[in-house]
Amino acid sequence: MSQTSKPSEGAATNLWSKLRASARRRADEDKQASGRQSLIPRSIAWRLILFSTLVIGLAFLLGGLVLSRLFYWHAITTTNRQLEDILSNLALDVSIEQPDRQQPALVAVDRSGQETAFNSPFSGKYWQITEPGGKIHRSDSLLDFELAVPAVVRPGDVLVDTHRGPESQTVLQRHRAVYYRDFGLVMRLSAAVDISEVRALHRSFNFYLFVSLIVLGAVLVAGIFLQVTLALRPLRRAQAKLKQVRKGSATNMGSGQDYPPEIVPLVEEIDALIADNQTIVERARKQVGNLAHGLKTPLSVLQNEIEQDQSVLAVTVRRQTASIQEQVQRYLALARSVAASQQRGVQTKVNEVAMPLMRTLGKIHRDKGLILNAQIAPDLLFAGEHQDLQEMLGNLLDNACKWAQGEVQLSAKRDDKALMICVEDDGPGVADQDLANLGARGKRLDELTPGTGLGLSIVKDLAEVYKGELEFQRSRLGGLSARLIFPDR
């Protein structure tokens, strides 16, 4: 009979270790990837500016190097031409005499027509003639210094090199071998020029080139910044328009002709999305209304059938039916408000809702002699449905009138961030420990006062639909203060 072996504990531990190592490796890779991504700004504008600046910097760097080398090459080429002129004139200044073929030829150099620089010691311009036998003729500017001359220079060849000259100067030398056919002599002629001035001129050119490129680069980067800012301005205008749609002050993005052709398709797609959303919301509202009518008739039939029946079952059914009707009305109103809150461009004047409510409640509670005051700006707007604001203010004002002893105040104002509506009364108020329980679904702090306990809960739910909140605190009048806060969307 075979036995089934169980996996060993060591194998399980090994597998667990591998899984942990793999997880750590993936975490390290994700961290490295996020680190690389953090080096690149997320903003499109800053990406364009950064990449353009890098491209300009690279182009200027390469261009500067090329211009610097071209300038140095041009300076050295010009110096070589000067040396060639010196050698050509020097070859003409050489005179050779040999009266007797049996005697060595006598070489002389005419110095009378030469530049004064060749007569000034270490002036930076030098020449030297080397005879076949090694005898040297040199310019007075060399004094007793001897230029380094290649050992072999064939007639017609021209050699150029750089050596250390007199007084530690760096000289550019040009050598040429000249063949004097009549005498059978090959003379090595050398001319040298101190290139420290060329190098100093090159350094000066590099400095001014660097400063010019920096200034030009700064101007170009500023131009790119301005160009990107102007190019992205239509996107910022579209963002502002979309914000107006979200707040409810506009119904769509506007005509596509107001935007550049590049973003017109985006604007049209957003408008189409808004229109589709409004269509879906309208369909949902119709379905909510149909559901309300569909439930209303069966509930009314049940209530009528047991209206006169006083049995225990009838009382229970009557109570539960009323509760179902209240809950259905509550959730249908909430569903309708959710649909309505998704619509854009819907706005309601606060005073057009608040003032009729206060007049109606003042008549209802006429026997209490209440004073109802309101402080509301005429143009103050609520970004939502008229009926929803009426539902919220009606419940709050009705609750305040029930508990007030003589005065109810309604105030509404808007700051930079939110719309605030406050309802206060001078009633007995609520204990501090019970403030948190206000607005809880079906929660009543006083069972003797008529009501279902759903009014404040409905207000709280409706406020949350519009991304707002309901707060309770002590009123300066002595009673309860209920404050609705609706942040700007």
What is the pLDDT, as a whole number, of residue 17? 64
What is the pLDDT, as a whole number, of residue 454? 60
* Unique residue bearing structure tokens 């809702």: 353
Long-range contacts made by residues 42-51, C-beta under 8 angstroms, separation at least 24?
Answer: 44/232, 45/228, 45/229, 45/232, 48/224, 48/228, 49/221, 49/224, 49/225, 49/228
398 neighbors 361 (Cβ within 8 angstroms): yes
Single-letter residue type at 238: A
**Residue 82 bridge partners (DSSP):** none
Closest CA to 213 of 62, 438, 430: 62
State the maximum Cα–Cα separation within the chain, in Å, rounded to a whole number.
165
What is the pLDDT, as a whole number, of residue 323? 74
What is the pLDDT, as a whole number, of residue 194? 93
What is the pLDDT, as a whole number, of residue 139? 92
What is the pLDDT, as a whole number, of residue 279? 78
pTM above 0.75, yes or no: no
What does the DSSP assignment read for 112-180? TTS-GGGGSTT-SEEEEEE-TTS-EEE-GGGTT------S---BT-EEEEEEE-GGG-EEEEEEEEEEE
pLDDT tens for the chain, 489 residues long, are 344 444 444 554 565 566 566 667 766 666 665 555 556 777 778 888 888 889 999 999 999 999 999 999 999 999 999 999 999 899 888 888 877 766 777 888 888 888 889 999 999 999 999 888 888 999 999 998 999 888 767 787 888 999 899 988 999 999 988 888 777 788 889 999 999 889 999 999 999 999 999 999 999 999 988 988 888 888 888 888 888 777 666 777 776 667 888 788 888 888 888 788 777 777 776 776 677 667 777 777 777 777 777 777 777 877 777 777 766 766 666 665 555 555 555 688 899 999 999 888 888 888 888 888 888 888 888 888 888 888 889 889 998 898 888 889 999 988 878 889 999 998 888 877 777 767 555 454 444 444 444 678 888 888 888 888 888 888 888 888 899 998 876
